[in-house]
Structure 1
Amino acid sequence: MDDTVSIPDERLELIFTCCHPALALEAQVALTLRTLGGLSTDEIALAFLVSFETMSKRLTRAKHKIRDAGIPFTVPPDHQLPDRLAAVLSVVYLIFNQGWGGGRVDLAAEAIHLGRPLADLMPDEPEVLALLALMLLHDARKAARLRDGELVPLDDQDRSLWDTQQIDEGRALLRRAMTRRRTGPYLLQAAIADLHLYQPRDWRQIAALYERLARQTRSAIVEMNRAIAVAEIDGPEAGLTILDRLDLDHYRYFHSTRAELLRRAGRDGEAHRAYRRALDLAQTEPEQRFLAERLAETRPSERAEHKTAGP
């Protein structure tokens, strides 16, 4: 009996082929991003929050395992697709994130292009539907994220520039995913992204969803985002209490988040140092300009500098 499946996109077919379950999940994702995703080893290392050297070694080990174990480079049959789905979803989402956070609009569009045939291929998988919803809800704001080359925070964005048709499509996909009665990490993230589009935002619900997501993923980045929501509810010091438990020194958004909460707490000297660290790690020019402005706003006064300098 022929158990092969017709994957409706050649690039997506190759991703399924590369995501072989004989490799560890992180190795599957990293190798596929390097081979097919168009990402450099530096970009992949940044996505995984590890050093270039660590990621280089992981990629080399994965290649050696493929060679030594004789892992076949073939399209998997239909019944094997679910075993590869977690890695495929990770690949697509990391491609999107590199486009969204790294200023590569082409990569964000490519990820959505991959997400559509994936949803056609597996229409009953809630995480597939939720991932596409998540990407669409974020991408719908792309025209409003920059103004004259400057990064615009969500609360200051011109909502008339948001793509309402894309938002409607994302919300429809989210509703479909919710009817499957399985709540995975992409569904939770899509629900959070949707809540962020409403004004005023329901920070208690956002914080509760981040708490559920943190329990599922055990991710420090999720905890960082929960800290933002907690700060909106209980004040910046409550958010900082969460952040101070996290080991995310090489993650630029950790430092910009911490800097913002420190600024709101009136701790300008600490905020200035955190903005400096975030600026050192920033990847795109709009991010760098935004952080440079914040850095200037929190620069200690000459009098304060004199007092802290000592005799």
Structure 2
Amino acid sequence: MTDTTETPVTVIGLGLMGQALAHAFLKAGHPTTVWNRTGAKADDLIREGARLAPTVAEALTAGSLTVICVTDYPAMYELLGASDIELDGTMLINLTSGDSAQAREAADWAEKRGARYLDGAIMAVPPAIGTAEAVILHSGPESDFDAHKSTLDALGTITYLGADHGLASLYDMAGLAMMWSVLNAWLQGTAMLRTAGIDAATFAPFAQQIATGVAEWLPGYAEQIDSGSFPAEVSALETDARAMTHLIEESEAVGVNAELPRLIKAMADRSIAAGHGGEQYPVLIEEFSKPGDA
């Protein structure tokens, strides 16, 4: 059975993201019931046609599927674990942020109470919800995802990752690692250039060009990682390590924090000491794959 645009939905949690989710469902024509501890947060949604449920229990029974987006997993348990809550038969889609272990535990918890459960992660800011730019990841039983994808499509670009409930959160964290690493590298470079009177706006287009160029290397580097073979087709790690030394020295010479490049140089040094100096940069996956105290 596939959802239609008339499928009723429930949204629990009306922070900025929850409100955006409910707005998108309403815009797509879905009868939408909402619930939030502070009912006033539903005022705009009610004016658009949403119904405010008086209790969580009533909200759960109002829709064919319930999307919950609250502060954290403990908040979800507090709301859905109350004695008056019946989850049997509920299709629950949890878009609350957390880690992969929490997602798997929540799936087990929900399924023991008779609910169908998909875990998800929102890779977007609230204003993007309802547009193609909003990427929303889902993991859990594929049959549940397929049954409700047409409804979830109202939220953005909907992606299914696999049956493991933890995958959406794991992808979310991997995406954050990418985001912060790119931003931190840009801030490092910006701090250096500011010492020469170059402002951030001037550097930004050049930095964007570098970031785009590096991104194009990823598919080829991924092949090396997956095959476990790292021939130095472009540059050997020991050559990269020498450039890292220059970056550290330049940062220190102009009075800029060098902690970040020192951290990466230390990882490269360990890999070189292990005999990988003649291999290409992706060989550092072995260092990234170790616990931090290894």
Normalised by the length of structure 1, the TM-score is 0.27
Report the structure, 1 or 2, having the larger strand content.
2
Report the structure, 1 or 2, having the larger helix content.
1
Normalised by the length of structure 2, the TM-score is 0.28
Q: Which has the larger radius of gyration?
A: 2
